[in-house]
Amino acid sequence: MKYSHLKRSVFFSCSLAIACSSAASAVTATVGTGVGYETYNHADNEHSWSAVFVQPSLELFHEVLPEDGGTVLSFSGHLSTRVYESRHDQRRAGAGAALEVPLAEGLLGRLGLDIVDFRDEEEVIDSFRGVQGAVSLYWQAADRVRLGVSHFRGEDRFQDVSGEESAISGRGSGWRNTSINSVSTPGAKEVYQTTEASVLWYLNASLDVNVHLASTRVSSSFPGEGYTGSEAGMGLHWFLSEYLIVSLGAIKATRRFVDGNELEPYREGALSTTVGIGWYRGPVELRLQWFHHDLDSQPPHSSYRREVTQCVLYWSF
């Protein structure tokens, strides 16, 4: 939920993936290689850039399915490397586990745990190791309506790069935006917790809408980067045919930074939008996606826009 940690999820590519599965053990492995394009426009044009990259990846998923349709246990893992044609590389690895338990008729509980390791060779200050736990409750309130509430709590520990200066005043090329001159402290970490409420509404057999509201609080070792935030988001999936689906999404977020190291409190706002098209035919799946993130900061020099384009081709067997 923290849009200051876009690096957790903003990976995009044009890739060919091969998935191998076994119905008996519910194991799936996906190997992919991708090509993508990323643009970053900073308020200070000197630090704006765009680059093409390739991204090989590996994903694993294992699900323990009970014969009676009860509790489900699942495990997952992923590894990817993004190699830029004109910038330093990024690497990401992670693993997770989830437990889903039917609690009553129409009521489902879920516990989840995820760990991630992210390394950015160019913006070293953005490198971190993180762990996140989540507890969720879902209620099928009606045939076409599902309500959900989730609470996430996590901690990110950042690589100690004390004394190194980022290319931009502040820590990192747009992942964090602050006017602080010192870019790191030994043993720096951020602890966050987010509470989210959601509604999934199946309007008809070919159209569904998901709306969510969330509130986040972050405590940071970095001076002036602790904040409270809120966001509202909506996603739409429209099945145009048996083989074609259109997806639209938007998230509007705001956050208020607390004072620290003699800094005055200030606010930031962000708008993220996504447009995607998916085509399915037998074992082949083609996805096209465009993502845009616009951050408007009260310190104007910290504002930026990041845009990504995604084209993914999967082949499953």
pLDDT along the chain (317 residues), means of 10: 43 43 61 85 84 86 82 93 86 96 93 95 84 97 96 90 41 36 64 97 95 95 85 97 95 83 74 94 82 87 88 75
Residue 252 backbone dihedrals phi, psi, to 5 degrees: -110, 125
Among the listed residues 187, 157, 178, the one whose alpha carbon sits nearest the alpha carbon of residue 261: 178
DSSP code, position 65:
-
pLDDT of residue 26: 66
> What whole-number distance in Å separates Cα of residue 295 and Cα of residue 5?
13
What is the pLDDT at residue 27? 74
pLDDT at 120: 87
Tokens of 44: 């200070």
Residue 259: the pLDDT is 57
Dihedral sign from CA coordinates of 157, 44, 233, 195: positive
Number of separate helices (H) and strands (E) present in the chain: 0, 15
Contact criterion met (CB below 8 Å) for 163 and 174: no
pLDDT at position 164 is 45
Instruction: Answer for the pair 33, 56: CB distance below 8 angstroms, yes or no.
Output: yes
pLDDT of res. 182 = 43
* pLDDT value of position 35: 84
**Cβ neighbour number for residue 42 with a 10 Å cutoff:** 21
3-state DSSP helix/strand/coil % of the chain, to nearest 5: 5, 70, 30
Compute the distance between CA of residue 198 and CA of residue 40 in angstroms, rounded to an integer: 31
- Helix (H), strand (E), coil (C) string for 236-294: EEEECCCCEEEEEEEEEEEEEECCECCECCEEEEEEEEEEEEEEEECCEEEEEEEEEEE
Measured between alpha carbons, how far is 166 from 162 in angstroms, rounded to an integer? 11
| pLDDT value of residue 162 | 53
Cα–Cα distance measured from residue 298 to residue 269, given in angstroms and rounded to the nearest whole number:
9
